[in-house]
Each structure stands twice: as C-alpha cells, then as structure tokens.
Structure 1
C-alpha cells in the first residue's frame, strides 16, 4: 500500500463488516444531535482506495485475498434474475400500516447509517426477512458511495445496505438497493433528519422511521439478483447472502446532494466471480 493511503487509512474509524450496527443505547431526546462515543471506532490499517491488497496488510484479513465468495461482484441482466431464495418480510411497515421503528441515526465514517433499538442480545423482536426457511432480523442500514455493485457495467451514485443477522447477532444477509438521482423526492430519504457528516462520527440522533419505504421504492424486491457473498470490508467474512434489487431507488437532486455531501469513498474493488452461485 502506498504511504499516502496508509496515512489515509489511519485517519478513518474501524468498521467490521461495513458499519458497526452495535446495540447503541436509545437516546433520551429524539431528533436532537447528541455527542457520544461509539463502541468499536478505533484506528484501522486499511482503506477502500487500496482494497485490492487488504489481504497483504494484516493476517486477519487473509479471507479478503483468498476467499471464494467475496463481494461485491458485477451483475448483469444477461445472468437473468433469481427465481429462488425468494425473501418474504414480516414486521416492516408498508403503505397500509403504521408500524415504525426507533433507532440511532449517525455516520459510520463513510456515510449515513442507522441502528435499530433492541434489547441486548435479543434480535427476534426486530423486523424480519425469511428465505430458504431461515429467518433473519434487520439490525440496521448504512450507505456506500459510490455503489458497491455494478449492473451492466454501470455504477450508481450510492448503495443502501439493509443488514440482517441471525438470532445470535451474526451477519447473514444483506438487501442491497442502488441509489440514483431523479426528479421526485424519495419517501424513504424525506423522512430522515439532516445528514450527519463523515467527519462527525461522535454525533448521533434518536429517530423514528419507516424501514419499508426503501423496500417499496424497489417494488419490495420482486425482481432481484442473489448470490453467496461476504462482508465488503475487512475481515471480509463469507457466509452472507446478498439480494440486489433490479430496480433503483430514486431520490431528488437535493436529497442526493445531501447524501453525497455526508459521504466519502466507500466502494470496494469489484471481485472476480468464482463460487458465488449467482441466482442458483
């Protein structure tokens, strides 16, 4: 890694498996910016700008280099769309309901993020997704900019990741939604408070939001690609099923500018397809 990139890596907070969706305690005053110390935000030795060589930096990142199902990968309509592993959702709010969730809105050092409030070690009270007879639970979401995944060679402005865990809190599945600007406001982004910048990682806000608005924006994942993948930052652990929506979630120009202004580069280099079993 070049010395300049090592210096850059040392300046950013550590994040295992993208954003650390730890069980942040509920904040006493919703909607107010509060200064706090987020757990696990220590100095790291890697940077997205040098993701080709993560496996050479640290022995614990070896899977980044030798893994057979590393993420992200290139996707295309030539691969078809999945007819298997169909996800179903429970406990999410939709246009006919009013069940919102509470959580902490913050910046994971690269872009906006949100962690749902829950009792320590208890995950099955959170909104859930079931596929292949396995149920996983929405721990939180975060944003990468630009998008991790390319589709037909095109990379969107950003990508939203809904991270789901099993009953022990281990990452098991990610819903990936590409984001691009258009004309109309996005109901999902319109509900968020003012963005918290990538250099304000000590700031959190307690907020109430409707997580299903993002799903509705991409037709509730009626069309998607799926594959066996990994975390997209060190240590790059595998065993994560990715669902990538075919549809794009569009924002208006102002919403996208606010999102990009709160973000910094966080796309891992595209990985070669190997044993990912795309749509299989």
Structure 2
C-alpha cells in the first residue's frame, strides 16, 4: 500500500494545496445538479490534517512540508504590530462574478469560472504594483492561524494567482460567531453543502468584495512570506491575515461547522517568514 500511495501521490494533481481551485472550468448551468467527485476537485489524498506533522514521510514530493523555511500557518501576535507595507487593493473585485459553489471535502468552497490558462478575467487585486487574480475561496475549520494564542472557529481563504497561473497570495479572514448574519455568507444557500455532498450550484453570481467590507476594508492586517497549508506545501506565497474578525450569526456559524471537517494544519515555527516586513 505504501508503494501505491507514493506512486499515486506523485501522479495526482495537487488541487487541494490549500484548495487550488484554478483547474476547474465548468460549463454554465443554472441549477444545482449531481456531479461526480472529481468535478468537485475532490482528488483522492493520502494525507490528513490531523497528522500534518508527518506529511514529509508520505511522499518525496512532500519533503518541503518538513524542510521548508517559510511554512504556513504561523502564530501571530498583537505585539508584532501590523503591516505598513504590501497593502492589497481590491479594485478588481467586481460584483456578480460567476462560478461554482460546492464543498471541497473539508468545508464550503467557491471557484470562479475562467478559461483554462486565462486568469485576467477573474476578480483581481493589486499588490506591490502586481495584479493578482482570485480563483476562488474556501473555508478551513478551525482557523489555520492563531492570534495572541486564540484560534477562531473558522478561516476564510481567498486564493490568488498571477497571470502565468502561479500561486502568489492568500487573503485570510478569521471567522467567529457574533449577533447578526454576515452579508457575505448570506449570499449562499442555508445550510451550506455538506462535506459528504458532491453536488454543486453552478452559474452562481457573488460579490467577493463583501467579505472585505466586513473586516473594515482590510485596512489592518499582518503579512508574511509563507506556503500552501497542505501538501506539497509550496512556498513563495504571500499571506495577508486580517486583524478584524468577520462575524457571522450563531446559526450561520453552526451551519458552517456542520458542513466542515477538521482542516487546520499544525502551526509552524516562525523562521524566515519576514512577518510584516
């Protein structure tokens, strides 16, 4: 079995490397439909989040998970201050951006439609005079990042690529229950698609800027050089973690958690991460 798993892990695309949703190019449909597991990007994996400390033992392709110098997630602290550099600008986040809503096997997720190899039609942000394109979002539960030792109930990740199709940045927003509904999550069906449900909702239009509005327009944040948070743990990813928490209602949070499974990688020690540099 070990030999087989090594072979398959080397051959399978790494579409769940912190939910790489860019490989899905769906036809447009107007209603929820049953689809097979591969259509929802549920590529079989031979690793688990609750055993993330041993990912490097599973495959030679995952060595970076053990040896990397900028692995994610890391613990963030209030006494680190907040970033004064690398501020993201979300001028290209347009309402009515269309895609597919589903569950990536660990929680709710969304992938924007785009032609294969074409990224400049996607919602975009500017960072350090570079335009990056958002391929989709997904939820981790509990949160990947802790702040001041506290781990939020969940964490929302906006995944961004450059024009060549290279992973470049993740916008991370911690999620906790509050009093009122979150307008961002109110855009989606209640309850969310369950982790055992391989159906999807196609041709769905959403406003990706809404989550940014709900965390004070992302005006305060930590940033660091990091990695994908699942194998192959690729580095060279700039992380932005919002200082503000996006609050959902209690019911919305219960729905999110009920649709999710454990997907938080063990925290990595700060090394060459250049926090807020």
CA RMSD of aligned residues (A): 1.5
- CA offsets, 1:161-203, max 9 Å, x none? 0000011222100000000001011000111023111112x31
When normalised by structure 2's length, the TM-score is 0.91
In 2, Cα distance between equivalents of 1:38 and 1:209 = 24
Q: CA deviation at 1:15?
A: 4.3
- CA offsets, 1:111-145, max 9 Å, x none? 00000011221101111111111111010000000
1:220 is paired with a residue whose SS is: helix
- CA contact 1:90–1:129 (8 Å) conserved in 2: yes
- CA contact 1:34–1:205 (8 Å) conserved in 2: no
Counterparts of residues 239-278 of structure 1 (less than 5 Å): 239-278=236-275
- CA contact 1:14–1:41 (8 Å) conserved in 2: no
- CA contact 1:16–1:235 (8 Å) conserved in 2: no
> Counterpart of 1:58?
59
1:75 aligns with 2:76: yes
Counterparts of residues 21-170 of structure 1 (less than 5 Å): 21=21, 22-30=23-31, 32-39=32-39, 41-93=42-94, 99-170=95-166
Instruction: Name which of structure 1's ranges 120-129 and 235-244 shifts more when overlaid on structure 2.
Output: 120-129
- CA contact 2:20–2:159 (8 Å) conserved in 1: no
Structure 2 unaligned regions, length at least 5: 1-12
Instruction: Name which of structure 1's ranges 186-195 and 233-242 shifts more when overlaid on structure 2.
Output: 186-195
- CA contact 2:134–2:160 (8 Å) conserved in 1: yes
Q: CA deviation at 1:14?
A: 6.9
In 1, Cα distance between equivalents of 2:182 and 2:42 = 31
Q: Across the two proteins, how many residue pairs are aligned to each other?
A: 261
Aligned pair in 2 of structure 1 residues 129, 263: CA closer, same or farther (>3 Å)?
same
Counterparts of residues 132-211 of structure 1 (less than 5 Å): 132-194=128-190, 195-200=192-197, 202-206=198-202, 207-211=204-208
When normalised by structure 1's length, the TM-score is 0.90
- CA contact 1:226–1:278 (8 Å) conserved in 2: yes
Structure 1 unaligned regions, length at least 5: 1-12, 94-98
Q: CA deviation at 1:219?
A: 1.3
- CA offsets, 1:34-70, max 9 Å, x none? 3244355332211000001111121110000000000
In 1, Cα distance between equivalents of 2:225 and 2:253 = 30
Aligned pair in 2 of structure 1 residues 126, 14: CA closer, same or farther (>3 Å)?
closer
> Counterpart of 2:10?
none
In 2, Cα distance between equivalents of 1:92 and 1:128 = 6
Aligned pair in 2 of structure 1 residues 43, 14: CA closer, same or farther (>3 Å)?
farther
In 1, Cα distance between equivalents of 2:175 and 2:27 = 28
1:102 is paired with a residue whose SS is: strand
> Counterpart of 2:16?
16
